[in-house]
Structure 1
Amino acid sequence: MSDTDVVPNRRISWVSTDRERAWIEMPAPRFAPATGMPNVLLRTDRRHQTVEGFGVCFNELGWRALSRLGDADRAEIFDELFAPGRGTGFSVCRMPVGANDFSTDWYSYDEVDGDLDLEHFSIEHDRASLIPYIHEALRRRPDLKLWASPWSPPSWMKTNGHYAAALPWRGNDIDNGLRPDQVGAEGTDMMIQEPRYLAAYAEYFARFVEAYRAEGIDISMVMPQNEFNSPQVFPSCTWTPEGLARFIAVLGPRMRELGVDVFFGTQERPAPEHLATVLADPDAGPFVSGAGFQWAGKGAIADAHRIAPHLSLYQTEQECGDGRNDWRFARYTWSLMKRFFEAGANAYTYWNLALDEGGVSRWGWAQNSLVVVDPETNGYRYTHEFFVMKHLAHHVQAGATRIDAFSWTGHENQLAFENPDGSIVIVMQNDLADEMPVTIALDGAAFDVVLPADSFSTIHIAAA
């Protein structure tokens, strides 16, 4: 029996990445009749969630880093990250509403105290950074889906009258200007809960959406607050779930008028009851079409999928590392991706696209990025995490379905998907210090690969 009799027209390709070499094309395996027990059985009849896409967040310090590069280098990076079929092909991305921890400094779109009519609203600040940043991505990916969340409302809309909610960390010599009496606390609403303030803040979101549309940038979805449980030294604002429900009840109708979805989030605690509280509110729940989770929120996503299987569930910010961009954290990145997708995530968002070497924020926190720019030489490099992301994002198409990759032999370290075109993608980690032989079966046929030590592999099986 020939290979084509076993699985007709199913060509296999394989790429691998380890600590020393990235995205290496490996010898293509070939199907043969399955004669024994495989290590991994691909089950296209066992289907899970649909994948909406992969993405990254547009932050001001990322644009500052990329602006150090020559035009050709910068174009190469945007091609590699956004051009369909080229590299990661990111299709679902995030941006802040005003300042965040990787902005150049604190700002909002209206810092005139008491301006409930938003007469002074302006996105002028963003013309130097976020607007050109996003436009560069849109040139490669005109259908890019963009969503947004604030890290803080305008300071005058908050109970403490300040952008931050926590004093600087011990040993951090950066003064954020917060007084001890202005410190916020988890489980409280730092956003003023008066109806007129909630209405003004909902209109603030609407002005943001409309202003960006005037720039040719469409915001398709918003979340009301980044990490609503966490008082931070940088722009932040705590909310209770009840406070968020009050706001979403006002925000939802205004966003619906503009054709913009509202998600609950971003949630950074393993507490599915927070989402349940908002969904149960008769005035807020009907406007929630999805939810976003990051950091310890990964402990709530599986229950959220059970509580509300109709919602889209996004991983909204990958944990950010320590600025070293080392292989250790690339391995951790894989564990995060695997956990979120196995829990039911529909989309996966990396954090910083690019940063200067060391990745230090305005508020003193060193973090990782997909691209590192050297301010001394104006050169750049792709990090290990870029290639781990690429192992999924390059091959897993929008609209793909996660399928079972079943193993009973200890070969359980993989994710598998079926693309809309019928192709199959299996991404595997060999976390051992030795090579790992694996037999993979599909539809009564099988093939063998030997995964390199301490590596990631993507195997793409073309459509029949």
Structure 2
Amino acid sequence: MSTAPISWIVTTTDAAWQQHEPATTSPITGMPDVFVGVDDPRQSIEGFGASFNELGWTALELLDDDAREGVLRSFFEPDAGLDLTLCRMPLGANDFSRDWYSYDEVDGDLALEHFSIDNDRATLIPFIRAAKRYQPELRLWASPWSPPSWMKTNGHYAGAQPRLDQSVKNGLRDDQVGHEGTDMFRLDDDHLAAYAAYFGRFIDAYAAEGIEIGMVMPQNEFNSAQVFPSCTWTPEGLARFIGHLAPEMGRRDVDVFLGTLERPNPDLVQFVVNDPVAGPALSGVGAQWAGKGALAVIHHDNPALRIYQTEQECGDGLNDWRYARYAWTIMKQFFSNGASAYMYWNMALLEGGVSRWGWAQNSLVVVDPETRTVRYTHEYHLLRHVSGAVAVGARVLPTVSYTGFENQLAFVNPDGSIVLVAHNDLGHEQSVSYLLGDRFFEAVLPADSFSTFVIPAV
């Protein structure tokens, strides 16, 4: 039995990423609290990431060069922090863009003669290039929040009007409001073909900038009409569009996932998976927010379908410990139900995290616009507890407890090391014992803490 020391890192609300005295294996002294299924590896981990958003880059631009590079290094450089390897980006404007735009807003331009990614040259392109300096093998995928406004039935980028108590405006008329369960896209073949070609032009334009996009999803939150860029689709509409989109992407060796699903209804996915044209074209499915409630059924019924968690729930701009604890429950639910990749949302925002459309959200780092300084949030450190230790190609390991401690995730890395991340959500320290095959160890988890144990390979 190996007696090599077990690395142990602890984060509490008052102290992040503290090196704890190493744990050690020992003879079994009693019934373990947690059994780790080392002989039953589950899905393979494709990577961890976050989203490249315009407001993330404009926030980081306020920092001096050294501070900005320090943040980028902590996000992307291997072994320096989060080690992000698989990230999302918007295809056109999203809710954390500077304002609405698409790559072709010329009405009726089905030939896309006016297509241009010039808007992105000030924000997304330099942001991604900066990341790739530290992570040259960074993989990217993209999804739109809204098609060009002229491709939609309401002729507008949004689908809902701001509430009366919101100061932001989007100019949407009463007769332009969208509704869940309807297709806001013009579903004639000419517009479907043009939109598929629009995706293709996007892939080609970014490739010309040296940025490869490896996967696309047809629509962010396809059931949600929002005050910001959005577009509702029915499963029938998505299946028709994927029939046009898949050949365009196939010619470019780009995968197509179905997503992003934000409702706890697996039938919304299963309809498209069962479509004779769209289904075979799908490489996976992306889910976020309430979509996590559909994962168990989706994974059970479609075990070969890859599952990405596409956007961690966004918080409220407070970036407090309370939300980091909640984010842990999201992470547990996704990995326990087949997810092979996990995406945080905003990498960086100004203090308060308010979008162009008035929604305050959390971020991995927060930039103070007055002092032009940066701080790392609790959720940064929580993500690091997992992404900083779990390598691409790791496998999820199941855990079971007969004493009621279910608050952990386990992985086995390609090198055979085992990563065990545990959360003690009690207000006092808690002793927990673990059995991993024939290896046993005990640890006293500090009160209200996250711990990462790295157990060397046998």
Q: d(CA) in 1 for partners of 2:86 and 2:163?
A: 33
After superposition, residues 77-96 of structure 1 pair within 5 angstroms as: 77-96=71-90
Q: Which residue of 2 aligns with 1:141?
A: 135
**Are 2:409 and 1:415 aligned?**
yes
Q: Which residue of 2 aligns with 1:7?
A: 2
Pairwise CA distance, 1:445: 3.0
Select which of 54, 60, 69 maps to 1:66. Answer: 60
Q: Indicate the larger mover: 303-312 or 416-425.
A: 303-312
Q: Which residue of 2 aligns with 1:237?
A: 231
Q: d(CA) in 2 for partners of 1:22 and 1:173?
A: 37
SS of 2:336's equivalent in the other structure is helix
Q: Which residue of 2 aligns with 1:335?
A: 329
Select which of 21, 27, 30 maps to 2:21. Answer: 27
**Are 2:284 and 1:303 aligned?**
no
Q: Which residue of 1 aligns with 2:36?
A: 42
Letter of the 2:111 partner, please give it: D
**Are 2:117 and 1:123 aligned?**
yes
How many residue pairs match? The answer is 458
Q: Which residue of 2 aligns with 1:172?
A: 166
1:32-69 alpha-carbon deviations (Å, 9 max, x no partner): 11132111122211221111111000000000000000
Q: d(CA) in 1 for partners of 2:338 and 2:109?
A: 42
Q: Which residue of 1 aligns with 2:358?
A: 364
State percent identity of aligned pairs: 60
Task: Give the CA RMSD over aligned residues.
Answer: 0.8
**Are 2:91 and 1:97 aligned?**
yes
TM-score (norm 1): 0.98
- Are the aligned partners of 1:438 and 1:449 in contact in 2 as well (CA < 8 Å)? yes
Q: Which residue of 1 aligns with 2:425?
A: 431
Pairwise CA distance, 1:410: 1.4
Q: d(CA) in 2 for partners of 1:443 and 1:239?
A: 48
Q: Indicate the larger mover: 37-46 or 376-385.
A: 37-46
Is there any run of 5+ residues in structure 1 with no aligned partner, and where? 1-5
- Are the aligned partners of 1:33 and 1:444 in contact in 2 as well (CA < 8 Å)? no
Q: d(CA) in 2 for partners of 1:446 and 1:188?
A: 55
**Are 2:260 and 1:266 aligned?**
yes
1:113-165 alpha-carbon deviations (Å, 9 max, x no partner): 00000000000000000000000111111111100000000000000000000
After superposition, residues 310-321 of structure 1 pair within 5 angstroms as: 310-321=304-315
After superposition, residues 369-384 of structure 1 pair within 5 angstroms as: 369-384=363-378
SS of 1:151's equivalent in the other structure is coil
Q: d(CA) in 2 for partners of 1:265 and 1:439?
A: 39
Pairwise CA distance, 1:169: 2.0
Select which of 345, 348, 353 maps to 2:339. Answer: 345
Letter of the 1:224 partner, please give it: P
Q: d(CA) in 2 for partners of 1:445 and 1:221?
A: 40
SS of 1:48's equivalent in the other structure is coil
Letter of the 1:269 partner, please give it: R
Q: Which residue of 1 aligns with 2:200?
A: 206
Pairwise CA distance, 1:11: 3.2
Is there any run of 5+ residues in structure 2 with no aligned partner, and where? none
Q: Which residue of 2 aligns with 1:3?
A: none
Pairwise CA distance, 1:202: 0.2
SS of 2:73's equivalent in the other structure is helix
Q: d(CA) in 2 for partners of 1:69 and 1:359?
A: 16
Q: Which residue of 2 aligns with 1:107?
A: 101
TM-score (norm 2): 0.99
